[in-house]
Amino acid sequence: MSLIGNYLVKALELKASDIHFCEGEPVKARVDGYIQTLDENLPQMNALFDEIYDLCDESVRERSKVEFAKLHDVSISFPTPYKMRIRATLYRDERGLCVAMRLIPQNPPDPKAIGIPESIMDVCSRNRGLFIVTGATGSGKSTTLSCMINFINQNKRGRIITLEDPIEYIIPSDKCIVNHREIGRHIESFASGLKSTLREDPNVVVIGELRDLDSMRAAMQIAETGHLVLTTLHTRNTPATIDRLIGAFPPDDQPQIRMMLADNLIGVLAQTLIPRIGGGRAAAFEYLLNNDAIKNNIREAKIYQIDNVLQTGARQGMICMEDYIVHLVKYKVVDPNVALEFAPSRQKLMLKYKSLLGI
C-alpha cells in the first residue's frame, strides 16, 4: 500500500475530514471538528511530497514544483483509488515540510442528507443573480456549492462553468454541460478567467472564492448581464458579507456598487459545522434573502439594520443562525454547550437559549 493510501485507510475509518503532516511530529487528523492523533510514527515528508506530485498530472506537477520552490506554499488536488479526491496544501514552517490534506468525497452529497433547507436550494431555479455562500474555513462551503451545481446539472439544461483553485468536486455533465477550470492550470487567475467566461456562452458561473477586487467586480457584472453566479467568501455572517463586499471597493465606487448589489444579489448563506451527539457533524445555516427591505438597506448604506430584517424574516424563507442552532439543540442533534463553541456569536446564542429553551 502507498504511503498516502496507508494514512487514508486510517482516516476513513475515523471519518476524518482532514489529515495534517508536519516534519518531526506524529500525523494528526480532524475528526468531527477536533484534531486527534492518526499515527504516532513520524511522517516521511520527502517521500510524501514525491508521492503527492506523482499523483498529479504532468502539467500540475511541474507547475506546483516551481510554485513551491518560489513561494514555499502551493495547493493542488488529485484523485485517489478510494472514491475521493484530495486537496493538498504543501507548505513550510519552522520545523520543515508540512502538508494539510482535505478529503473530498467523489460525489457531492444529497442536499437533504446534509440538511440544506429547501429555501436555499430554490436558488438553483433562478436564471440570474448573485448568490454567496460564506463561513469559516472547513465549514462546508465547497460542499454546499457542489450540491447546488449538481442539482442544477440534474434538473436544468444549460452550461455551467466553474473557476476553482484547485478543483475539488468533479461533476460530470448531465442535462447541463459542466466545465471545471483550475487557476494556474487552465486559466491564469480568477479575474482573467472571469473576463473570458462571458464569451463562452454560460448560464451559470461558479467562482470558487471572491479573493480580490477584480473578481468581486466581475462577479457582479456577470450577474448583472443575466447569468446566475454562485460563489464563496470568508466572513462570519450574512450582514458582514455584504459589508465586506461593498467595503472592498474604493469609497468613490461604493455608491454604484451598492446599487448593483441591491439589484443583483439573490441572497447570502452563512454556515458552520457543529459536532453531533453520537458522532459526525451537523450543518447550521443562516440565510439572508434579498427582499425589498434588504435592498433599501444596501442602497442607503444601512448595513447595520440588516440583522433586524433577518431576525423577522422567517415567513419569507430567511433563517437566523441562532434559531437554527436552537432547533438542533431542541431535537438533541447537538449539545447546547458544544454548539456555543462553534456559534458565530456566543452571546446571541445564549440569549436565544434563555428565551426559547429556558436554559
CATH level 2 (architecture), domain 3-105: 2-Layer Sandwich (3.30)
Mean pLDDT of 257-277: 97
CATH level 2 (architecture), domain 118-357: 3-Layer(aba) Sandwich (3.40)
pLDDT tens digit sequence for 140-188: 999 999 999 999 999 999 999 999 999 999 999 999 999 999 988 898 8
Cis peptide before 166 (omega within 30 of 0): yes
**Residues 6 or more apart whose Cβ sits within 8 Å of residue 163:** 181, 183, 187, 190, 193, 194, 197, 205, 206, 207, 208
**Residues 6 or more apart whose Cβ sits within 8 Å of residue 355:** none
pLDDT the model gives residue 148:
97
pLDDT-wise least confident of 132-141, 226-235, 278-287, 349-358? 349-358
Mean pLDDT of 233-259: 96
357: DSSP letter: I
C-alpha cell at 344: 458565530
The CATH 3.40.50.300 domain(s) of the chain lie at 118-357
Q: Are strands 129-134 and 228-233 parallel, antiparallel or unpaired?
A: parallel
